[in-house]
């Protein structure tokens, strides 16, 4: 983008098109065959009436619609467990002689021994374990490829749009970036709430959620975005002939490398919230029996994130950065992430999560995002704005996000949602302490770094803000 100045807008629009086309195609992928365990709790069922499974047929049908799990029976005079095999009944898992059979011969004997007590039992079933079928399916790998291309395109698009924003604002108004970014939060909040309501409305009494309304919104807003981007006028930007050399010089600074590392830590924290918060919310809704309007609740949670915390802190970010400086701002953001994750792990209801996100999204995500992007602009050499923003966001939204997704997935599977959130909360608190120590005992001792933009000595923070050369990390 920095090198091909005349093609900036074409590259920008191409990324926008590729990204949204991938997301739209995902909605046309067919679901995996087999029943969905929408309800883990069954009432008034009988173990005795269930037939024995034909093991040969079960093995053949394993990836063609049959799913197995362990179920726990709570009867009048006895409790026991059995492993059941389910076949779909209009996509839904139900316990009946026509759709369910017993896998283990010993469990059949157990049912027969408890014949008089096995009627009108309540049953709780575990989640289906169909990893083998999932990872060999065309649907899963199609989803992975489309998400990979779509996410790559979107994050590159975001980093370039941030660079464009700073180019349009100019150096004198760079701290007003947050006031521009808040409109993204406003649009995000409106659409997630609207799409959540529409998905629930058009999915009433259906096992599968109907995501067509969200696809229509993607198409509509992509077209609007295209029109706006076509009409966008980008000011002329000085072109550098030593982009790579300037960036390498930048990376020789220890303070810049440390900043990039902690930027990656923010990416890890953000990935946990973005990838696993709604997953945790859905598990919580099942536990407390509140699944009917779950998509609307999720939409409200995301809207609360955008309209309260993000809008307010994007608006105030310039003043906060000017008052605290980048070092103390990063520390505060890590502390807020630790509090946010810890509070959500204690949530007894969905409304607790909503209130936590209402108050904590701003000082954790919005403020840290603005600080990272603004500092990336501060250290940018002339003519390399898109390159440096790509580097900064590559570490934050790329490397950090990927590591966080991997670690979060492993922890979520091994320890569950509550313990995962608490482990990451401790990580955020440790990051806050570590960065604070670096800031107090290291960064303040090295104010003589070279500024890559104009080759002058780095100044003290107050001086830097006054002369708009650099800001103290």
Q: What is the pTM of this model?
A: 0.67
Name the CA radius of gyration of the chain, rounded: 27
* pLDDT, mean of residues 106-119: 57
* 49 pLDDT above the threshold of 80: no
3-state secondary structure of 89: strand
364 confidence band (pLDDT: 50, 70, 90):
very high
* 144 pLDDT above the threshold of 90: yes
Summarize pLDDT for 404-414 with one digit per residue, the tens. Answer: 999 999 999 89
- When the pLDDT of each residue in the chain is averaged and rounded to a whole number, the result is 80
* pLDDT, mean of residues 156-170: 80
88 confidence band (pLDDT: 50, 70, 90):
low
Any bridge partners for residue 84, and if so which?
A: 69, 102
* pLDDT, mean of residues 302-324: 84
461 confidence band (pLDDT: 50, 70, 90):
very low
Quote the pLDDT of residue 151. 87
* 345 pLDDT above the threshold of 50: yes
146 confidence band (pLDDT: 50, 70, 90):
very high
Instruction: Report how far residue 11's alpha carbon sits from residue 32's, in angstroms, rounded to the nearest whole number.
Output: 36
* pLDDT, mean of residues 187-216: 80
Long-range contacts of 167-171 (CB under 8 A, 24+ apart): 167/234, 167/235, 167/237, 167/385, 168/234, 168/235, 171/468
The residue extents of the domains of the chain are 36-129, 238-445
Lowest mean pLDDT among 284-293, 300-309, 456-465: 456-465
* pLDDT, mean of residues 143-160: 88
* pLDDT, mean of residues 275-295: 82
* pLDDT, mean of residues 12-21: 90
Percent of the chain with pLDDT over 90: 22
* pLDDT, mean of residues 384-394: 79
Question: Is 238-445 CATH 1.10.3720.10?
Answer: no
* 178 pLDDT above the threshold of 70: yes
Lowest mean pLDDT among 89-93, 287-291, 467-471: 467-471
Instruction: Report how far residue 180's alpha carbon sits from residue 188's, in angstroms, rounded to the nearest whole number.
Output: 14
110 confidence band (pLDDT: 50, 70, 90):
low
105 confidence band (pLDDT: 50, 70, 90):
low
360 confidence band (pLDDT: 50, 70, 90):
very high
DSSP string over 125-173:
EPPP--HHHHHT-HHHHHHHHHHHHHHHHHHHHHHHHHHHHHHHH-GGG
């Amino acid at each position: 983008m920095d090198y091909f100045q005349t093609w900036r807008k074409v590259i920008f629009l191409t990324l926008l098109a590729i990204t949204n086309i991938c997301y739209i195609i995902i909605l046309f992928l067919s679901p995996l065959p087999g029943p969905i365990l929408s309800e883990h709790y069954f009432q008034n069922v009988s173990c005795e009436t269930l037939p024995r499974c034909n093991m040969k047929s079960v093995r053949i049908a394993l990836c063609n619609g049959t799913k197995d799990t362990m179920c726990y029976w709570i009867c009048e005079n006895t409790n026991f467990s059995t492993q059941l095999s389910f076949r779909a009944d209009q996509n839904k898992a139900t316990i009946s002689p026509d759709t369910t059979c017993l896998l283990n011969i010993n469990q059949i004997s157990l049912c027969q021994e408890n014949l008089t007590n096995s009627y009108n039992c309540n049953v709780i079933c575990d989640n289906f374990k169909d990893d083998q079928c999932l990872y060999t399916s065309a649907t899963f790998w199609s989803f992975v490829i489309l998400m990979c291309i779509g996410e790559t395109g979107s994050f590159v698009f975001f980093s370039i749009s941030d660079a464009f924003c700073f180019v349009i604002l100019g150096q004198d108004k760079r701290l007003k970036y947050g006031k521009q970014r808040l409109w993204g939060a406003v649009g995000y909040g409106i659409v997630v709430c609207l799409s959540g309501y529409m998905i629930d409305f058009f999915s009433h009494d259906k096992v599968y959620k109907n995501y067509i309304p969200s696809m229509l919104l993607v198409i509509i807003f992509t077209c609007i975005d295209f029109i706006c981007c076509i009409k966008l006028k980008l000011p002329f930007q000085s072109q550098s002939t030593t982009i790579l050399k300037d960036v390498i010089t930048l990376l020789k600074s220890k303070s810049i490398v440390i900043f990039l590392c902690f930027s990656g830590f923010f990416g890890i924290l953000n990935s946990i919230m973005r990838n696993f918060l709604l997953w945790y919310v859905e598990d919580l809704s099942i536990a407390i029996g509140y699944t009917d309007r779950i998509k609307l609740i999720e939409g409200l949670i995301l809207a609360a994130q955008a309209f309260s915390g993000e809008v307010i802190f994007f608006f105030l970010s310039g003043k906060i950065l000017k008052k605290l400086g980048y070092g103390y701002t990063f520390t505060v953001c890590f502390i807020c992430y630790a509090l946010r994750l810890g509070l959500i792990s204690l949530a007894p209801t969905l409304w607790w999560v909503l209130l936590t996100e209402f108050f904590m999204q701003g000082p954790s995500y919005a403020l840290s995002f603005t600080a990272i992007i603004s500092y990336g602009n501060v250290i940018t050499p002339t003519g390399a704005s898109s390159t440096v923003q790509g580097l900064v966001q590559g570490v934050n939204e790329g490397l950090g996000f990927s590591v966080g997704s991997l670690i979060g997935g492993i922890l979520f599977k091994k320890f569950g949602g509550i313990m995962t959130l608490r482990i990451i909360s401790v990580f955020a608190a440790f990051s806050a302490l570590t960065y604070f120590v670096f800031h107090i005992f290291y960064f303040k001792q090295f104010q003589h770094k070279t500024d890559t933009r104009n080759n002058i000595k780095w100044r003290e923070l107050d001086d830097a803000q006054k002369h708009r050369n650099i800001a103290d990390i």
